[in-house]
Structure 1
Amino acid sequence: MGGFAIRRQQLTLGLGWPNLISVGRILLVPLLVALVLSEDRGAAYAAAAIFLAGALSDGLDGYLARRYGTRTSTGEWLDPLADKVFVAAPLVALSALGRFPVWVAVVILVREVGVTLLRAMLGRRGIAMPASNLAKWKTSFQLLAITLYLLPLASGWTPVRLGVLAVALGLTISTGIDYVLRSMRLRGVAPPPPQEKRP
Structure 2
Amino acid sequence: MNLPNKLTILRVCMIPFFLVFMLTDIAGDAGRYIAAAIFIVASMTDWFDGYLARKHNLVTNFGKFMDPLADKLLVCAAMICLIETGNLPAWIVVVIISREFIISGFRLIASDNGIVIAASYWGKFKTVSQMVMIILLIINLASPVFDVLETAFVYIALALTIISLVDYVVKNKTVLSEGGK
Using structure 1 for the length normalisation, give the TM-score.
0.83
1:76 pairs, out of 64, 71, 84, with: 64
The structure-2 alpha-carbon separation of the partners of 1:187 and 1:112, relative to structure 1 and needing over 3 Å to count, comes to closer
**How do 1:188-199 residues align onto structure 2 when only pairs under 5 Å count?**
none
Q: 77-86 or 98-107: which moved more?
A: 98-107
User: Which residue pairs with 1:181 in the alignment?
Assistant: 170
Alignment root-mean-square deviation, CA: 1.5
User: Which residue pairs with 1:36 in the alignment?
Assistant: 22
2:2 pairs, out of 16, 34, 58, with: 16
In the alignment, structure 1 residue 106 sits paired with structure 2 residue 66? no
SS at the partner of 2:31?
helix
Which residue identity lines up with residue 130 of structure 1 in the other structure? Answer: A
1:169 pairs, out of 151, 158, 162, with: 158
Measured after TM superposition, the shift of residue 99 of structure 1 is 1.8
2:134 pairs, out of 116, 127, 146, with: 146
| Structure (1 or 2) with the greater helix fraction | 2
User: Which residue pairs with 2:34 in the alignment?
Assistant: 46
Deviations 1:92-140 (A, max 9, x none): 1110222211111111111112211211220121101111112211111
Q: What percent identity do the matched residue pairs reach?
A: 34
Measure, in 2, the Cα distance between the counterparts of 1:91 and 1:99. Answer: 9
In the alignment, structure 1 residue 127 sits paired with structure 2 residue 115? yes
Q: What is the count of residue pairs matched by the alignment?
A: 175
Measure, in 2, the Cα distance between the counterparts of 1:16 and 1:125. Answer: 29
User: Which residue pairs with 1:158 in the alignment?
Assistant: 147
Show structure 1 runs of 5+ residues with no match. 1-14, 190-199
1:45–1:152: 8 Å Cα contact kept in structure 2? no
Which residue identity lines up with residue 139 of structure 2 in the other structure? Answer: L
Show structure 2 runs of 5+ residues with no match. none
Q: 111-120 or 23-32: which moved more?
A: 111-120
2:8–2:49: 8 Å Cα contact kept in structure 1? yes
Moved over 6 A (4+): none
User: Which residue pairs with 1:192 in the alignment?
Assistant: none
2:103–2:168: 8 Å Cα contact kept in structure 1? yes
Measured after TM superposition, the shift of residue 182 of structure 1 is 2.1
2:109–2:176: 8 Å Cα contact kept in structure 1? no
1:22–1:79: 8 Å Cα contact kept in structure 2? yes
Using structure 2 for the length normalisation, give the TM-score.
0.91
SS at the partner of 2:119?
coil
Measured after TM superposition, the shift of residue 186 of structure 1 is 4.4
1:41–1:152: 8 Å Cα contact kept in structure 2? no
